Amino acid sequence: MQQGVPDASHLYEVERRERYGARPGFRIGELQISTTQSVPWHYHNNVQDSFFVVEGSIRVHVQNPDDSVLLARGETFTVAPGRPHLVTNAGDSSATFLVIQGFGEYDFVPTEGNR
C-alpha cells in the first residue's frame, strides 16, 4: 500500500473548494473547476469517492479496468478504494460537484495517470 497525503489541496488548483462536514472516517466537500482544471490521477487506500454533480458536467476517468463516465447535473458515480481516477470538466463552463468520502481514514495517493 502506497503512502498518501492527508490533504491534497496544495497539489492541484480549483476555482473554489468548500468543506461541509468532516467526521472521523467521513467527509463531504464541494469543488468547482473551470474548463481547463481537473482533479489529477489518484486513488485512496481506504475511502471511496462518491461524486454528485451540482452544476455543469464532469467526466470521471477510471482505471482497472479503464473507463470513463460522463455525469451531468443531478447524476452520481462512486469510485471504490484503490481504483485510480481523474476528474475533468466535461462542459463549456465551470462545473460544481460534491465529493462524499468514506468510510475510513482519508488519503490522496497521486498516480502516473493513464498508460
Which CATH number is 56's domain given? 2.60.120.10
pLDDT at residue 115, as a whole number: 42
Total number of residues shown for the chain: 115
pLDDT in tens, the chain (115 residues): 677 777 788 888 999 999 998 888 899 999 999 999 999 999 999 999 999 999 999 999 999 999 999 999 999 999 999 999 999 999 999 999 999 998 888 888 989 764 4
The verdict on residue 1 lying in a domain is no
The verdict on residue 11 lying in a domain is no
The verdict on residue 2 lying in a domain is no
The verdict on residue 41 lying in a domain is yes
The verdict on residue 94 lying in a domain is yes
Number of domains in the chain: 1
Q: Which residues contact 46 (CB under 8 A, 6 or more apart)?
A: 81, 104, 105, 106, 107
Give the DSSP H or E segment for 79.
strand 76-79
The verdict on residue 9 lying in a domain is no
Neighbours of 103 (CB within 10 A): 12
The verdict on residue 93 lying in a domain is yes
Give the range of the structural domain holding residue 59, as residue numbers without chain letter.
Answer: 16-110
For residues 36 and 113, the answer to whether their CB atoms sit within 8 Å is no
